[in-house]
Structures are given as structure tokens and as C-alpha cells.
Chains A and B, each alone.
Chain A
Amino acid sequence: MSALVTEATILPNRPGLTGRLSDFLWKHPHVLLAVLLGPPVLWLGIIYLGSLFALLLQSFFSIDDFSGLINYEFTLATYRQLLSDANFDIIVRTVTMAAVVTLFSALIAFPIAYYAARYAKGKWKAVFYLGIMLPLWSSYLVKIYAWKLILAKEGILTWAFAKLHLLWLLDAWLSLPVIGGNSLSVSYTGTFLVFVYVWMPFMILPIQAALERVPGNLIEASSDLGGTPQQTFRHVLFPLALPGIVAGSIFTFSLTLGDYIIPQIIGSSRLFIGQAVYAQQGTAGNIPLAAAFTVVPIVIMGLYLWMAKRLGAFDAL
């Protein structure tokens, strides 16, 4: 008979420690899980959430105006300060910018994501991913300074407008209150453009992933049942892509809320939340107020997710 038959039915233990370890972990799979999950959970629990909690705690302390020292007694004084006119302006400015950036990112990202999910095949899919990811490989600062040059009064954008005899359009836009300014690089419009550019991949990729999961025959079914392309978009495609849009908007919204470099380099000199946090914990030394400022995005994101859930954004998950 063949050699296979003469061997034992139950093979002997593999030699050495690894053999015994394999057997042990096979019998106790939860031990393996604990070993694998322990370090990251400890990291997340203690270092990440712990420091976040410590930061939040700071916001309930206050600073002594006279000595500049932190007064470790629970008080809402810092929050009163946060809601003062000057600081509240910063919050409104940042949240408005984040909302507008998110909305436009979604509007621009959707067709790109739709094309990538529905039509791009093989080589074109690779081109798509490369096109989306390539900007992420270069330094964030380099990109922002490049944009500063593009948007400057002597920059290529002004030049292009001039060549197209559309300078009047640019000037008209820049003369608008609030969103205008001396040039694009020192206006809110400039800040907005750079935000949209920098966060775009974070909006495209989740929408593309969501659209990729929508079976093509649902689109056909809607059309078959009499749905025009517009109705199919509204009743089938959009609701099914919504989890992706919400995921993308969480990125663009929270990243805009927290960023302090883009508004510092491009835009008017008025502060955004990130810059306020940076200034308060640094030069001003007002850690409690800096902490209170960081609470704002957390609360806003919490409200946003709660609303998205109420509106049924996650029903299709």
C-alpha cells in the first residue's frame, strides 16, 4: 500500500514551543484575540481617549486673568468666555466654512466617484486611484504654498483670467463683501478653494466605495419600473450612496473644523477654531479656553452624526 496509509491518522505534535503554542491558541481562540487586540485597545483607551478626556477636563477649569495661572476649580467661566462675541465669531466662521466646503466637495466628488464606480475598468480604474491618491503623496505644506502662488494677484489664475478677458469677472467676485478681498489668496474664497482641493480625496473615496456596493441591476430595476434617470438618482442611487456621502462629509467637515494651517497661509487674517486653539494654548497660555475650543468640533460632529442617523443615512448599511 502507499506510504500515506501506513502513517498515523493523528499526526504527532509539531516539535518545540511554536508547536505547543499553535495547539494552545487553537484551543483558546479568545487568548489569541486578546493578544492581538490588547496593545491597540490599551493605546486607544489610555493614551488616546485618556488624553482627550484630560483635555476636556481642562475646559472646566479657568484661568486667573491677573496671574495667568490655571485655577483648578470646576467652573463654566471658560465656556462663558467661549461664547463671547469675538470667540463666537470664530466658531460661526469655522462652522460655515466647514459646511460650505463639505457641500461643494460632495457636489464635485459625486460625479467623479460615480464614474469610477460604474464605468472605470482596468487601466482607467488605476488612473482614477492614482489621480485621487497622488496629491496625498506630496507634502501638505508644499501644496498649500503652491496654491498661494496660484491664487496670488500675480499668480497663474489671474493671468488666465486676463488672457480670457474675464478679469472683470474675477474683480467683480473679489469686490463682493465677506467672500472677496484684495486677491484670491487673501480672501475666504481662496481658503475655500484650498480646503476643497486638499480634502477632496477623503470625500471621493467613501462615496466611490458606497456606489461600488450598489448593484447595477437596482438602477435597471428602477428604470424598468418607470423611473426616469432623475427619479432613479433621487430614490435609489442617492439613498444608497448616502452612507458614503456622510462618511466623506465627516472627513471634510471635521478636518476643516480642526485645520489651522490653511487659513493661516491663505485667507483673511481672521481666526478659525484651529488657529484659536493654537494661539490659546501657545502664546496666550490659556489652556482651558483652548480646550473649550476643541470641544466645539466634537459637539458639532456628535450633533451631525445624530442628525444623519435620524434622517436615515445609515439605514442601507
Chain B
Amino acid sequence: MTAAVLFQNVSRHFGTVKAVDAVDLEIAAGEFFAMLGPSGSGKTTCLRLMAGFEQPTGGHIEIFGETAEGVPPYRRSVNTVFQDYALFPHLSILDNVAYGLMVKGIGRQERHRAAEDALAMVKLPGYGQRRPGQLSGGQRQRVALARALVNKPKVLLLDEPLGALDLKLREQMQEELKTLQKSLGITFVFVTHDQGEALSMADRIAVFNDGKIQQLGTPEDIYKRPQTRFVADFVGSSNVLSSATCARLGVPAKAASLRPESIAIGTSWAEQLSLPGTVTARSFLGATNRVSVDCGGEKIIVASPAAMPVPEIGAEVQLAFSRNDLHLMEDA
């Protein structure tokens, strides 16, 4: 089966800045694919390469088996939901949604009917006569989605589309986007810096840093088995244990990652590993307490369930965790 998007050794350099540096990537048709990374990591440039706003300085890009480099955005059946929505301020909502059909020469009546349907799909029926300025952020986001989807794109690109929404709305939209993607069967490529968003929505995630893909895999893979210190730290702020600490545990390794929520304080069974330490800080986060423990010079964060008693600062504690939760990494 041909890949929806294929990157072969793709680079995009701006002068001496390597925004995207020799990236290989294969996104399957119908997949919900997330590109995760901090700002400046190259994820948005990758998205812009797919959309055609940027041209690669090296490498080869294919979209559904067809060569994409040198092809302008308006000749790609790829549509984008922009970060700040980019709705046309001088057009009504209906004309915004119908824009893609209008430039393709589809008659007024037909394109307006299609636009009404698209607005109904994003739960904004009857909003067609308003202007973008009269809508809330969440509504504009839905219009931007309808405007892209009405063109029935082969690949839908989403550039941090939920970044400007408040938490409640964001969670709701995450769910709706996922449902929509499953029902439409369109390939979604989603750029985000929010690891929670990527983990909860994507089928597969590519973690970007410094213009390169650090790790590519399913959310569970990325979360439980980070391959590099960067991934361990960026996705879920994992503890990265040094080789010295690993040696104390009797596990020979250059480094190992340990999730804060897989550590218990004070209880250790026979088959578990344990580390003694001193509590240096604690803070209440609602569902959990975040406890910092100094274990012989190594700071380890523990996410302790709120129901558990929290040790005082300065208390000597034992940290206990299963050997299975300790994930060994190649990279120190």
C-alpha cells in the first residue's frame, strides 16, 4: 500500500539553520499521525513541506506515491487547518467554507450546499451568514476545520489547531477530531507541542528535536520505552537515571528512564527495586502530589497519588518500583 506521505532524507535549511535535517518518514493512509516537539524542533516546517509552503533543500517527498517537490500548494489535494485559523475576514463564514470549491469553479448553489453540510458536520449549522470576527475561538477553529474538510483532502494537516483554546474546549475538540478522523478515514497529520494531546489522539507519534526525528512509534511505545534522554524528558517528564544510579540498583546500563507515576514511596516488596533518599520538595497537583527526592545526588520526581500520605520535606524515604518500569536507554 502506498504511503499517504513519504519523506526520504528530506532537509530544509534556512541559511545555516537546519530546520529539518535528513528526515525519513512514512505516514500510512488513514492514519492519525502526530508530530510532537518543542518550538523550533522542525515539526511545523515538516508540515509546511507537506502543504507545499516550503520546498525541501534536499531529499524527496511523495504524497500518495506522487512526487511533491516543486508542486505548488494549490495543486496538492492536501488541506491545512492553520494555527490561528487564517479565516478570510472579509468573507462570510459560508463563503469562507466554500472558498476551496469556489476557486475550483463549482457553482454557487452547489458549493453553498456543500459548505452548509460541512458546517453542520462541525456542529455550526446556521452560522453561515456571520463574519469570522463574530465567532469565538472555538467556533473559528471549527470553521477552519470545515473549510479544509469540504475539499475532501487526501491528507489533512493540522498545525497546533487546539493551541489557542481553553482546557475544557481543547479536551472536547480532541475527542471530536478523533471521532471525525475515524469516520472520514482521512489521513490526519497533527503538529503539537503538547505531549498529552499527541498521546491521547495519535495512532503514531514522531518526536522531533533539532530538525531530526528522535523517536517514532505508537503512543505507548514513546511513553513507556523512550529511546533517548530527550524523548524521556519531553514526553511525560520521565526521570532519567545515570549509569551510577543504575549500577547501585544492580542494573548495568548507560542510562535508564523511570516514570514518576511508577514509583511508590515507602513500600517495597521483595521483587521490587528500591532506592533510599531525602524529600527535598513537594507540591499538590490535584490528582497527585509531586514529590522531589534526592537519592545520593540524583533528583528523582515521584508522582504520588493524592490519597497517599505525603512525607515532610527532609524525611528519609524509600522509593520502590518494579524492574519492568525501568527502561534502559542507549543514549546517556
Q: Does A225 contact B (CB under 8 A)?
A: yes
Shortest CB distance B251–A (Å) = 50
Q: Does B90 contact A (CB under 8 A)?
A: yes
- The stretch that binds A, out of B97-105, B261-269, B318-326, is B97-105
Flag A220-238 by CB within 8 Å of B: 1 or 0 each.
Answer: 1111111110010001100
Q: Does A285 contact B (CB under 8 A)?
A: no
| Contact A221 B80, beta carbon cutoff 8 Å | yes
- The stretch that binds A, out of B16-24, B71-79, B184-192, B235-243, is B71-79
**CB-defined contacts of B90 to chain A, threshold 8 Å:** 239-240, 312, 315-316
**CB-defined contacts of A240 to chain B, threshold 8 Å:** 89-90
Shortest CB distance A315–B (Å) = 6
Question: Looking at the complex, which one of A224, A239, A316 makes contact with B73 (CB distance below 8 Å)?
Answer: A224
| Contact A225 B82, beta carbon cutoff 8 Å | no
| Contact B89 A221, beta carbon cutoff 8 Å | no
CA distance in complex: A226, B84 (Å): 19
**CB-defined contacts of B87 to chain A, threshold 8 Å:** 221
| Contact A226 B80, beta carbon cutoff 8 Å | no
Q: How many chain A residues touch the partner (CB < 8 A)?
A: 20
Flag B212-229 by CB within 8 Å of A: 1 or 0 each.
Answer: 000000000000000000
**CB-defined contacts of B78 to chain A, threshold 8 Å:** 224
| Contact B89 A227, beta carbon cutoff 8 Å | no
Q: Which of B60-117 contact A (CB under 8 A)?
A: 72-74, 78-80, 82, 84, 86-90, 99-100, 102-104
Shortest CB distance B35–A (Å) = 18
| Contact B147 A217, beta carbon cutoff 8 Å | no
**CB-defined contacts of B99 to chain A, threshold 8 Å:** 222, 225, 227, 235
| Contact A220 B73, beta carbon cutoff 8 Å | yes
Question: Looking at the complex, which one of A220, A222, A226 makes contact with B151 (CB distance below 8 Å)?
Answer: A226
19 contacts between A and B (CB under 8 A): A215-B84, A220-B51, A220-B53, A220-B80, A220-B82, A220-B86, A221-B87, A222-B103, A223-B72, A223-B74, A224-B53, A225-B74, A225-B151, A226-B74, A228-B103, A235-B88, A236-B88, A240-B89, A316-B90
Residues of B within 8 A of A (CB): 51-53, 72-74, 78-80, 82, 84, 86-90, 99-100, 102-104, 147-148, 151
Residues of A within 8 A of B (CB): 215, 217-218, 220-228, 231, 235-236, 239-240, 312, 315-316
In the A-B complex, list the 3 residue pairs whose CB atoms are closest, starting with the nearest: A225-B100, A221-B86, A217-B86
